[in-house]
Amino acid sequence: MKKIDISNAPAYTSPNSMTLLCTEKPDGSTNLATLAFWAFASTNPGKIMFSLNKGAYSLELLAEKKEVILAIPGVELTSALIGCGTCSGRDTDKASKVGLTMQEVEGTNIKAPVPCKLLIHATVAQTMDADDHVVHLCDVKGVYGDEDVDAVFGWKGYAEFAAAQQK
């Protein structure tokens, strides 16, 4: 074993599922943020957790509405993941910019992209400062899955994107 920097650790745990964090903007449209740092925190009751960089527009949206959809996109949305991670949603309609089709999700006004392997609708229960990020612990309100969609994963510390079946 050799000592490594924490920023290189994700390469040692690949593959990591890639995610689009969906939040509602003031005009009712959906903001999309590419998210890598998330996990299941509990299954009974259902809880998830994720962290966002302190500069993220999504932090402002979550502070106001405290509602989110975690979307695990299909491999068809690989380029959308990159596109949504390279600009702010503050002044950009990311769904239109990257050509996404959006779907309604039961129990919320927030829309999610198509196709997705998994959608998790949740509300923020707690937040915690984590230096350059803010950690959110969320109560799961609904979970929707599609077994026929191949999820996209980050490989080599997010240097590559591909389905797990392709590796």
pLDDT of residue 167: 44
Closest residue by Cα to residue 140 from 30, 39, 28, 15 = 39
Tell me the CATH number for domain 6-166: 2.30.110.10
Closest residue by Cα to residue 112 from 136, 95, 88, 90 = 95
pLDDT of residue 165: 67
pLDDT of residue 37: 84
Whole-number Å distance between alpha carbons of 146 and 90:
30
Given strand 30-35, what is the order of strands in its sheet? 30-35, 19-24, 67-73, 116-130, 133-145, 46-53, 38-43
Binning the chain into helix, strand and coil, the percentages to the nearest 5 are: 20, 50, 30
Amino acid at 79: S
Per-residue pLDDT of the chain (167 residues; tens, 9 = 90+): 999 888 787 778 778 788 999 999 999 999 999 888 899 999 999 999 999 989 899 999 999 999 999 999 999 998 888 777 767 778 878 788 888 999 999 999 999 999 999 999 999 999 999 999 999 999 999 999 999 999 888 888 777 888 876 44
pLDDT of residue 158: 76
